[in-house]
Amino acid sequence: MSSPLLEIIAFDIDSIPRIAAYGGNRIELCANPAEGGTTVSYGMMKAARAATTLPVFPIIRPRGGDFCYSEEEYKIMRADIRVARDIGMEGVVLGLLTPEKTMDYDRTASLVELAYPMEVTFHRAFDEIEDYLPALEAIIAAGCSRILSSGGAPTVSEGIGRLRNCRDAADGRIIILPGSGIRATNLRQIHEMLDLPEYHSSARYTAPTGTASVDVHELQALRQALS
């Protein structure tokens, strides 16, 4: 049986070849780690695509803060999805909520349709939804390929119960991708508890430049934890 897929966040261009060389299987491409990740520039998207043959999924998030977007922000998200598709990305990462913090089905389904043939990951906006099992069904119906989630808690380790519930409810119809607080020191235990096909980590440290960059030793240890 093959080992689980390991998705790693890249916040800088130098992280991309490291992820490819030291055990990552897919890249989530983000800017602004302090904001939890926002959409990178056009130039960064192009450079990332040229730097690796790994699947690259840029986040489509026009700003930090909440996940309830204005009509102008929604138009920006649509434009960024077209850019990612035209550049040749394999997927995008997004999440939209209503003012009541329910899943925004109509806009999400429209973005999934626009993104095709790219895959769409619904990100941790999902963790802000209180009634999460109906939201899971709506995300499946909208056509998303996976849900990135910490189980509604600050970290995956604290959200194991909700993640198990999501895994069981999904029943193979959508991938549940645990992320937040996953490190080499806890990944093996998390995998033993959840037995999921994919895991998400930043594997990052703060570089001398002050940017968030991938720690190759942590990445190697993450890969070893899943072997």
What is the side-by-side strand order in the sheet with 5-10?
Answer: 56-58, 26-29, 5-10, 198-201
Residue with the two structure tokens 């806009």: 107
User: By the 8 A CB rule, do 199 and 6 touch?
Assistant: yes
What are the strands, taking DSSP E only, across 3-97?
5-10, 26-29, 56-58, 91-94
The CA distance from 227 to 215, in Å, is: 19
pLDDT number for residue 205: 84
- Which residues does the chain have with pLDDT short of 50? none
Q: Where exactly are the structural domains of the chain?
A: 5-225
**DSSP 3-state assignment of 202?**
coil
170-194 burial code (b ≥16 CB/10 A, e <16)? beeebbbbbbbbbbbeebeebbeeb
CATH 3.40.50.1370 fits 5-225, yes or no: no
pLDDT number for residue 211: 78
User: By the 8 A CB rule, do 150 and 190 touch?
Assistant: no
Closest CA to 200 of 185, 215, 179, 186: 179
pLDDT digits (tens, 9 = 90+) for 167-195: 999 999 999 999 999 999 999 999 999 99
pLDDT digits (tens, 9 = 90+) for 68-100: 999 999 999 999 999 999 999 999 999 999 999
Measured in whole angstroms, how far is the alpha carbon of residue 186 from the centre of its chain? 19
Q: What does each C-alpha distance from 104 to 99, 147, 154, 212 come to in angstroms? A: 9, 14, 23, 31
pLDDT number for residue 2: 78
